[in-house]
Every structure is written in C-alpha cells, then in structure tokens.
C-alpha cells in the first residue's frame, strides 16, 4: 500500500512539470503577420542604406555629377562652334586666322646694368680707380702691368707687378709705383698674328667695382701703356650682368679712394678721352 502511494505521487509530479514546460513564455514576442514582416524588412533595408551612403555623401555625388554634366555640355558646345568655323572657312576658301597670345616681356634693364663704351672702375684691393674700355669682342679682361715677376708662396704660383701707366692715365698718384702681389689663377697664350707663336700671360683675380656692380674679375697682365685705356673689360665680365650702349660714356660715377680726387672732379678727366678703336 505504501509503494502504491509513492507511484501516485511521482505521476502527479511529472504531470505538473509537463504542464509547466508547455506553458508559453510571456517575454517572447508574438509571431509577425506577413504585412508586418515585410514592413520590418523594408525598415532594416533603409537603415543599412542610410549607414552605407549618408545623405551628405549622396548630395555631394549629385552635385559633382551635375558639374561634370555641365562641363561636358560646354565642351560639346565649343566643339560644335569650332566645327562651324572650320566649315565656314572651307566654304569661303579663306586662309585661317592665327591669333597669337601676347607674351609678357621683361625689360632686360631690370636685371642688367647698362654701361657706356668707356667707364671708371675701382680696384679696392689696390686702392685706385682707372679708366676702362668696355669691349665685348675681347674674351678676357686685361690690366696694364709692368715688371711682372713670378714667385712661389706656400707652394702656389704668385706674381708681383706694378701698374703700367703713362702720364695721361688717371689714377691715385701714390699707387702708380706701388708693388702689387696676387696668386696666379691660370695662364693664357695670346697670339697677335698668324706668324706669331704668342706669349704666355698670367691671369689674376681682382675685386672690381663699376657703378652698382662689385665682382671678382680675372685680368691678364700685359703692358697697355701704349694704349688709351689701362684696363679692358671683356665679355667674361659682361656675361649675364651688363649691357653696352656704345653711344654713351661714363654712365657711372668714378669711385673714390684715399689720396685720390673726388668723384665730382672726374668730368675734366673724361673730357680728354679720344674715341679710338683699340682692342
């Protein structure tokens, strides 16, 4: 009798448990109807599309497409106009008209100094001014020198010389017989005629001033005392920095040095120049 009661209790317990398992969960949403299902799908699709293509990106793409379309239409219009012009020219048999754009020209005087055929130069390293003939036909500049003596200093070739000036040459007086020393940059062979073997002349570099210009100039040393100008400035000096107006002389003031005459007194010395054709 006791065992029967136990079996009845077990059966009742299983029955109650089964009822609990079959009872629906109140948190589970009810099943969707077909219209509600499609509405939900459309909503999710719209959200995904908005996240992948933000409204501002779509608007920008639309603006770019409109601008591109306008450019294409403008190019097409220009091509049609050009085609019409060509057809008109062909029908009339006329020559095409070439229109050249005007190019901006830069005044070369903005970057180069204008020189006359004769100018005053200054040699700050020597301390004197001298007259110079400006000659684009000569390659190298030359300085009138005498008693040119070669010597060696610290393993390098140097020269010692004096200015070769005649009585008419204008210079600072105390510099006329002063010894000048300078290292030799190189040597050049100068040939005067077809039968002349030429002579080797030293080339030195001296700081030279002329108007606003201040340049290191290479000079060959040669005696020019028989010529009208103790200095000749060649195209190596002129290159890229100066232009010559052969109708003018002494466009720039004479530089001043201790022991020399003031720049205002140069006019009297300039007036005695002879317009020769020396090289």
Counting Cα atoms < 13 Å in the Cβ hemisphere of 156 gives: 10
Helical ranges in the chain per DSSP H? 2-22, 34-52, 55-92, 235-238, 266-270
Alpha-carbon separation of residue 269 from 119, 131, 254, 272 (angstroms)? 12, 10, 10, 6
CATH class given for the domain over 111-265: mainly beta
pTM, entire model: 0.60
The domain locations on the chain are: 111-265
Instruction: Tokens 């003018």: give the residue.
Output: 248
Cβ neighbors of 56 (< 8 A, separation 6 or more) are none
**CA pseudo-torsion sign 269, 274, 275, 277:** negative
Model pLDDT for residues 178-206, shown as the tens digit of each residue: 999 999 999 988 766 556 566 789 999 99
pLDDT by residue for the chain (279 residues), tens only, comes to 444 454 444 444 544 444 444 455 555 666 667 777 777 777 777 777 666 656 566 677 777 877 777 777 777 777 777 777 777 776 666 555 565 555 554 566 678 899 999 999 999 999 999 999 999 889 999 999 999 999 999 999 999 999 999 999 999 999 999 999 999 999 988 766 556 566 789 999 999 999 999 999 999 999 999 999 999 999 999 888 899 999 999 999 999 999 999 999 999 999 988 655 555
């Amino acid at each position: 009798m006791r065992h029967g009661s136990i079996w009845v209790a077990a059966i009742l317990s299983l029955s109650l448990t089964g009822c609990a398992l079959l009872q629906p969960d109140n948190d589970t949403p009810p099943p969707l109807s077909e219209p509600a299902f499609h509405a939900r799908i459309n909503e999710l699709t719209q959200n995904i599309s908005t996240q992948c293509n933000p409204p501002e990106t779509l608007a920008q793409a639309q603006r770019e497409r409109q601008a591109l379309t306008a450019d294409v239409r403008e190019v097409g219009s220009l091509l049609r106009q050009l085609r019409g012009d060509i057809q008109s020219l062909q029908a009339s048999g006329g020559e095409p008209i070439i229109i050249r754009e005007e190019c901006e020209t830069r005044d070369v005087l903005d970057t180069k100094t204008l020189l006359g055929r004769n100018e005053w130069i200054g040699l700050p390293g020597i301390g004197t001014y001298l007259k110079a003939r400006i000659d684009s036909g000569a390659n190298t500049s030359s300085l009138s020198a005498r008693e040119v003596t070669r010597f060696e200093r610290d393993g390098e070739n140097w020269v010692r010389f004096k200015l070769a000036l005649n009585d008419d040459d204008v210079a600072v007086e105390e510099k006329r017989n002063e010894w000048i020393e300078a290292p030799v940059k190189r040597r050049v062979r100068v040939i005067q005629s077809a039968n002349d073997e030429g002579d080797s002349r030293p080339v030195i570099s001296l700081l030279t001033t002329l108007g606003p210009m201040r340049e290191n100039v290479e000079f060959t040393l040669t005696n020019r005392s028989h010529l009208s100008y103790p200095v000749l400035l060649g195209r190596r000096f002129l290159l890229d920095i100066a232009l010559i107006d052969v109708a003018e002389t002494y466009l720039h003031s004479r530089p001043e040095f201790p022991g020399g005459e003031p720049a205002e007194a140069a006019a009297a010395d300039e007036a005695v120049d002879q317009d020769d054709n020396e090289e």
